[in-house]
Structures are given as structure tokens and as C-alpha cells.
Amino acid sequence: MPKVYLFTDGNEDRLQLGNKGANLVTMTKLNLPVPPGFVVSLGAFAEYKRTGQLPMKEIEAALKALQRRMGKRLGDLMVSVRSSGPVSMPGMMDTVLNVKNEGHIISCIKAVFESADSARAVEYRRINNIPAEMAGTAAVIQAMVMGNADQRSGTGVAFTRNPNTGENSLFGEYLPVAQGEDVVSGRRTPMNIEAFRQQLPEAYAELNRIGHVLENHYKEMQDIEFTVERATLYMLQTRSGKRSGQAAVKIAVDMVKEGLISTEQALMRVTHTDLDALLHKRVDPSNTIKPLTKGLNAAPGAATGKVVFDVREAVEWAQRGPVILVRPETSPDDIVGIHAATGVLTSRGGLTSHAAIVTRAMGKACVCGASELNVDLGAQQFTVGGRVVKRGAEITIDGTTGNVYLGALPLVEAAIYGELDELLGWADQNRRLGVMANADTPEMIRQAIRFGAEGVGLLRTERQFNEPDELATIREFILADSPVHRSEALVKLRKMQRNDFVEIFKALDGRPVIIRLLDLPLHEFLPHEAVHDPGIRSRIEELQEVNPMMGHRGVRVGVTYPELYQMQIDAIADAKAAVSNANALIMIPQIITVQELLWVKKMVKDPSAKVGIMMETVRACMRADSLGSTAAFFSFGTNDLTQATYSFSREDVEKKFLPYYLDQGILMDNPFETIDVNGVGKLIETAVKSARKANPDLSIGVCGEHGGDPRSIHFFHNAGISYVSCSPFRVPIARLVAAQAALDEKDRLIRLTRDD
């Protein structure tokens, strides 16, 4: 296999040429103005790592060809030596410009190869989960064009669409009389591309035309690096552009309308992180506080936090609360600090500076080029006009507008808008999993519906008992000293619960709601503070448990205090009678045997009422066949089921050894965040299989937090789960990921990676 490829050879193999190299070849093929050059392949890189040798013969031949092409004599030719990895890592590896003699041309190739293992490249790969196999780089050797030749020369970076908003028009920056690195590094703040249009209208028109050619070819928004030498435009790089979540959605939807891609492709292109970013907070629009200063709106979303200047301090402080990293500019060495911060503020650099690109990709708020800011790293403070803001002070940055405020401003949650609504509509047409919400109040329910939830998959009744009146009444019930008092308390509770359910049914307007009967152990409702009444004290002691998580809770309470569950069941029936389109299902927690289910079902008078169970004990999973033929539905409570499978108490282990286990690689993931496919997942699969054998139509959901976790959603889809239920804010993400899981199943090849 050859180790060196001329651009004109036409080989576009990314695994040999890397992205930059392969895209330069593609642009050459498309007859775009690319300075000629060649690529020393990833194969050569691997051999260099093994033997320390470069393929000298091939390199020399390629150089000769380049000299002939340029009509230059040996020694006159100037080239750049650039890295080109199979995964793009902007600014992470070395690039050397203006290389003149051949011996230097060779040491630069070595330097580029060595830079693949630099500390910052390694760190970047770690943060972005880029596997070690993708760690290599090719070297691109390319004839120089001089952006600093005269006044009609310069260099720039452009996106074919706006990477913040997604708007379909050329977006970028231009720096006259300059060479490439000046823009990317943020050392000089470049001018808006509009100024370039005015200065060099023909070169601008050419850039615009090329943008369309590239988009038509790649079917993706492109991030272009170009240089102008004496008013002639040259293309130096193109790749799929990083973008904000908002832009990702708009671009995907627009490209469907422009006929560039299908709806399925659009759905695969928007990632759950994009939506996460999009569902970011904003500064409350009713805010009247004036901004301290304004910079460029580099990455959307608002963030509040304490000012830090030092990267290591950012990491440390972030453990205790949000921080905003403030720097004159950021560099690849700051990656860890940016990762830890909730937002980044810089005084220099434009919309294509390092800080802007990195935060946008990470979904963090960023304001950059806030030029009134005087950042004093030595004194650990910044000043604006006369005002001094010290390390540790709270500020708010709004990456959507560019505003910077003193203090922590109130932020508001995001909403679903036009294009997102459209995209999620396509998701709904493609997904098989139902998406419900875990919501306890009418307000949460309305939010969940706005986000597209089909109903409520888990309504916890504990919340109702924590309202002051209810709490007092359930205490009356627990502490009652006579049957009369006890039933008086129950009558009051039934009325209160009924009224609550009425409001809930109204909010749902006919959509289903799965109401879980009381799950908490009774002592949770009793006062924790010192109690003087000896009668009450002894009752509290009586109810106290060594291990309440595994104690007298869930259906066990319902069996031993049947009047409590009866009261809840009756309250649901009362409310149903009052709201004509109510669609309520009853769910029993902590079931271990079908006998418990039958016990509670006897209390339900309405023969049409659906009574299902929560699957959260290991035994229930093992008895899924008999439970499946008796229950109206299953819903896996994956949190408790994970605790039961591991014999872990979540709160305790997350505080104590779990971080250490993850650090040491003993466990790969926190099983409470993403479903443990090999353990808990096996249990779920087994239960689903045997339950469906007994009852093929059984609806089987998941209502643990895993229901909103993207990786877990893929697993649930493949395991044949009927629906997931998650917190309202994760509903849009669940809708998208459920569609992606279905599309993945349909055709795994459809998957397009967005980053080249």
C-alpha cells in the first residue's frame, strides 16, 4: 500500500489520509481552488511509531511532483505541514507554516506525528471519548498561499450556516493581512465576514458559491478555512461544522426541506446532547437588571456561577457549585477547566475562537471577545470600566445575547419551538417506544404535555401526603388511639386525595395516568424532631426500622393497613366520577408475589379499572409469568431494581465507594444513571420474555430515572419495552432517542456521524 498520496491521486480513504487530508482530496476533485499538496498516510504514522523511519523515497518523489506543479525550484517552494487525524480534534495537534528547506520539511512531519501523543491531545480524546485506535494522524504537506502578501490578502474561517442559530447564510470571520493561526488562536479579534464582502466582493462571492458546492456534496453544514492571496481565494480545509443544539435542529429540519437529506437522516443527526443544550436555561425575559458589559454571543444558553480564573481551580470549585471560567482567551490546555465550568467568558477572540468552538460543542454557555473586560490573571480579578470583579464573585453570562451581568440572575427553562416541534413530530412517527412522564403535580403534568409526553407513567402519591394538611391528617391516622379516630382521619384523607386527583385528571385531559399507591414506610411521615408525648414516642419507636429500604413499605403497608390503600383506591374512583374523560390506572409498588396483587385487587370495586404492578424486586422478575397473567401492566422501577440486584443502597454507595469503583474501572458506569445491561438488564429481559409468554399483549414500561437516559433507552427499545417514563425535561430527549433506536434497528448503516 502506498504511504504517500498526492491530492490529485483522488484517494479519499479517511483511515489513511485522515479527515483534513481526505477532504482536501475531495475538494480537489470538485475542482475547487486548493493549493496542491500530498498526504503522508496514517500507515506511515504507524510505521514511524514502530521503527522511527519515514517513507523517504515516496516523500521525495511527492515533493518533486509538487515543485514541478508549482514551477518552483528546490528551496523556493514554501509549504505547510499539517496534522490530519481520522477524528477531527481542532487545534489539538501541531501545524507548521512557511516551511522552506527539505530537511526542515522532514523534521516537521516528525513533529506533527509526535504531537498526536501530546498531553492536550490525550486529554481531548479522553473528554470526547475518542478511542485510542483513533489516536494517530497523517501529515498534510501543502504549498503555501500567502494571506499576508498585501492589503488584498488575508485569512478567514467561515461556516456555510450560522452555527449558533442555524440560519442559512454564510457566517464567519476574516482577518486581513494575516496567516491562518492568527484567527484560530483568538490572538487577534478578526472582523465580521460582512466586511470581507465589502472589501473583496468577488472573493466573497466565490466563497459563497463554494459553500453551496460543498454542502451539496457533503449534505452537511461545513466549517471552512480559507486564505486570500492577492484577491484570489484558496480553500485550505473543510469539515462538518460544530454547532449549537439550536443550530443542529434548525439545520437538520431545513436540510430536509431543501431536499438534501431525509427525515430519518435528520433524526439521526441531532444528538441528545444537542437537545440537552437546547433545553438550556435563559435569563428571565422580565429581568430589568442592566448588563455589566456585552461580548459576542458565542454559545447559547445562560449560566450563573462563581468567577474563577485558574483552570485547576475551576475543576476544584465546580464540585461545590457552578463556576464561570474567565480568561483573556482559552487554549487547548484549558479543556479540563472548560469541561468543569458551566460557562466561559473571554475578553479576546471571535466567534470562531477556541473558546467559542469548544463550548458550543459541549453545550455550555459562552460569551467571548468581551473587549471592555480587563482580565488580570495575576490579581485574580477582572475590571470593566471602574468596576472590579474578584475571584469567587457571582456573575451571569448569557451566551444567547452576549450579555454579562453581575450577580446570579433568575433563569427560566426552555420551551419547544417551531423546528424542534417539527423534528420531534418526525421522531414520534418513527419510534416504537411510548414516552410518558414522571410527574406528581398538575403543573409538572402540563409541562410534560407541552414537551410531548403521552401521559403520566408514574404519579407518586407521597407528594400529596407532604402537603401540610395531608401530612397532619396522615399523622392523625398513624397515631390514632381508637378505630373511630382512625376512620375520621381516613374520611378526611379520601376527600383531600380526591380533590387532588380531580386537578390531575383535568390537567391530563383524557391522557392516561398511572397512579402509584403509597410506597413510603409510615414512619417517614412522623416527626423527626424530639417528641415529648410518650405515647407518640413509643409509636415512632415501634415503626422505626433498621433498614427501611427493605422494610415495611410499598404493598406491605397496603396489606397490613388495608384501609389506607382502600382510601386511595376509593379517592381515585371518586375523582374519576367527577372528571368524565379521566383515564387512571392503579399501580402497586414493591410486589413480590401474585398473592399481594390479588389482595389489593379485591379492594378495587370497578371491574374495568386497570391494576398493574411495579417491577422492582428480584422475585417479581422471577415470577413474571404468574404476575404477567394477572396484572394489567408492568412498570419496571429500575432504581429500586438496581439497588436490589446489587444489594446497594444508592445514597450510601454514591457517597462512599462508587466513585472509586468507577475511577478504578471496577465498574464501567454508574448503574443508577445508565442501565446495567449485563445484570439488571438480564433480569428485565428474562422478565419481559416470560411475562409476554403468559400474556402477549401486556404493556411493559420503565419508570425509573433510566427511562430518560439515552443509552438505557436504546436497551429498552431492544428489550421490547412498551414505553419509558421520565422527568418532564427529558421527554423531548426520550422522544428523539426512541426514534433513533428504532431507526438504528431498521438500518444501522443509516447512522451518520456528524463530526466529519
95, interface contact from Mg ion, ligand ADP, none, CB < 5-8 Å by kind: ligand ADP
Instruction: Pick the binder of ligand ADP from 6, 144, 277, 435 (CB under 6 A).
Output: 144
Element (H, E) at 635: strand 633-636
Minimum CB distance to ligand ADP smaller for 37 or for 301:
37
CB of 80 to ligand ADP, least distance (A): 3
Minimum CB distance to Mg ion smaller for 237 or for 645:
237
640, interface contact from ligand ADP, Mg ion, none, CB < 5-8 Å by kind: Mg ion
Examine residue 240 and tell whether it contacts ligand ADP (CB under 6 A): no
CB of 185 to ligand ADP, least distance (A): 9
Residues 66-85 that bind ligand ADP (CB under 6 A): 80, 82
Round to whole Å and give the CA distance between 121 and 149.
32
Q: How far is CA 296 from the centre of its chain?
A: 23
Residues 428 and 263: beta-carbon distance below 8 Å = no
CB of 158 to ligand ADP, least distance (A): 11
Chain position carrying cell 468577488: 202
Minimum CB distance to ligand ADP smaller for 118 or for 371:
118
Q: How many CB atoms lie within 10 A of CB 202?
A: 10
Residues 394 and 684: beta-carbon distance below 8 Å = no
Which backbone phi and psi does 293 adopt, to 5 degrees? -165, 175
Instruction: Pick the binder of ligand ADP from 236, 344, 564, 614 (CB under 6 A).
Output: 236
Which of the following is catalytic: 703, 706, 714, 717?
703
Round to whole Å and give the CA distance between 628 and 639.
21
Minimum CB distance to Mg ion smaller for 283 or for 726:
726
Direct distance between the N- and C-terminal alpha carbons of the chain, in angstroms, rounded to an integer: 24
Dihedral angle over CA of 569, 571, 576, 582, nearest 10: -80
CB of 636 to Mg ion, least distance (A): 10
Round to whole Å and give the CA distance between 473 and 476.
5
> Would residue 354 show up in a list of annotated catalytic residues for this protein?
yes
Alpha helix locations (H) across 34-118? 42-51, 56-70, 102-115
Round to whole Å and give the CA distance between 502 and 521.
26
CB of 654 to ligand ADP, least distance (A): 39
637, interface contact from ligand ADP, Mg ion, none, CB < 5-8 Å by kind: Mg ion
Minimum CB distance to ligand ADP smaller for 142 or for 727:
142
Residues 229 and 153: beta-carbon distance below 8 Å = yes
Between strands 95-99 and 456-460, the pairing is: unpaired
Half-sphere exposure of 526 (CA within 13 A, CB side): 20
Q: Which of these segments, 87-95, 401-409, 568-576, 601-609, binds ligand ADP (CB under 6 A)?
A: 87-95
Q: How many helices (H) and strands (E) does the chain have?
A: 31, 31
Instruction: Pick the binder of ligand ADP from 26, 222, 227, 712 (CB under 6 A).
Output: 227
Q: Which of these segments, 42-50, 396-404, 608-616, 671-679, binds Mg ion (CB under 5 A)?
A: 608-616
C-alpha cell of residue 45: 504514522
Residues 6+ positions from 479 with CB-CB distance below 8 Å: 526, 535, 536, 539
At residue 559, the 3 state secondary structure works out as helix
CB of 750 to ligand ADP, least distance (A): 29
Element (H, E) at 445: helix 442-450
Examine residue 91 and tell whether it contacts ligand ADP (CB under 6 A): yes
Encoded amino acid at 637, one letter: G
CB of 37 to ligand ADP, least distance (A): 7
Which residues, listed in sequence order, are joined to residue 615 by a DSSP beta bridge? Answer: 636
Alpha helix locations (H) across 305-404? 311-318, 335-340, 354-362
Which residues, listed in sequence order, are joined to residue 515 by a DSSP beta bridge? Answer: 459, 586
Round to whole Å and give the CA distance between 85 and 739.
31
Minimum CB distance to Mg ion smaller for 381 or for 617:
617
At residue 365, the 3 state secondary structure works out as strand
Which of the following is catalytic: 272, 354, 523, 714?
354
E-state strands within 580-632: 584-588, 610-615
Residues 495-524 that bind ligand ADP (CB under 6 A): none
Residues 226-285 that bind Mg ion (CB under 5 A): 237
Which residue lies nearest Mg ion, judged by its C-beta?
640
- Residue 141: name the closest of 51, 294, 33, 7 by CA: 7
| 305-318 exposure pattern, b = at least 16 Cβ within 10 A, e = fewer | bbbbbbbebbbebb
Examine residue 330 and tell whether it contacts ligand ADP (CB under 6 A): no
CB of 198 to ligand ADP, least distance (A): 21
Q: How many CB atoms lie within 10 A of CB 734?
A: 33
Examine residue 545 and tell whether it contacts ligand ADP (CB under 6 A): no
Examine residue 333 and tell whether it contacts ligand ADP (CB under 6 A): no
Element (H, E) at 434: strand 434-438
CB of 212 to Mg ion, least distance (A): 21
454, interface contact from ligand ADP, Mg ion, none, CB < 5-8 Å by kind: none
CB of 146 to ligand ADP, least distance (A): 7
Binding mask 496-535 for Mg ion (x = CB under 5 A): ----------------------------------------
Examine residue 28 and tell whether it contacts ligand ADP (CB under 6 A): no
Half-sphere exposure of 340 (CA within 13 A, CB side): 23
Instruction: Pick the binder of ligand ADP from 41, 95, 403, 643 (CB under 6 A).
Output: 95
Examine residue 35 and tell whether it contacts ligand ADP (CB under 6 A): yes
CB of 20 to Mg ion, least distance (A): 7
Instruction: Pick the binder of ligand ADP from 97, 260, 406, 471 (CB under 6 A).
Output: 97
Instruction: Pick the binder of ligand ADP from 17, 77, 145, 355 (CB under 6 A).
Output: 145
Round to whole Å and give the CA distance between 417 and 246.
10
497, interface contact from ligand ADP, Mg ion, none, CB < 5-8 Å by kind: none
Minimum CB distance to Mg ion smaller for 220 or for 640:
640
CB of 45 to ligand ADP, least distance (A): 15
Minimum CB distance to Mg ion smaller for 559 or for 666:
559
Minimum CB distance to ligand ADP smaller for 234 or for 405:
234
C-alpha cell of residue 62: 511527492
Minimum CB distance to Mg ion smaller for 301 or for 637:
637
Instruction: Pick the binder of ligand ADP from 222, 237, 246, 304 (CB under 6 A).
Output: 237
Chain position carrying cell 485506535: 133
Q: Which of these segments, 138-146, 266-274, 591-599, 734-742, binds ligand ADP (CB under 6 A)?
A: 138-146
Binding mask 38-77 for Mg ion (x = CB under 5 A): ----------------------------------------
E-state strands within 555-623: 584-588, 610-615
Element (H, E) at 136: none
At residue 219, the 3 state secondary structure works out as coil
Examine residue 637 and tell whether it contacts Mg ion (CB under 5 A): yes
DSSP per-residue letters across 293-316 = EE-EEEE-SEEEEEEE--HHHHHH
Instruction: Pick the binder of ligand ADP from 16, 23, 26, 155 (CB under 6 A).
Output: 155
Instruction: Pick the binder of Mg ion from 215, 274, 329, 640 (CB under 5 A).
Output: 640
Residues 539 and 479: beta-carbon distance below 8 Å = yes
Instruction: Pick the binder of ligand ADP from 142, 304, 712, 722 (CB under 6 A).
Output: 142
**Residues annotated as catalytic (active site), given as ranges:** 354, 703
Applying CB under 5 A, the residues found at the interface with Mg ion are 225, 237, 616, 637, 640
Interaction site with ligand ADP (CB under 6 A):
35, 80, 82, 90-91, 95, 97, 142-145, 155, 179-181, 184, 225, 227, 236-237
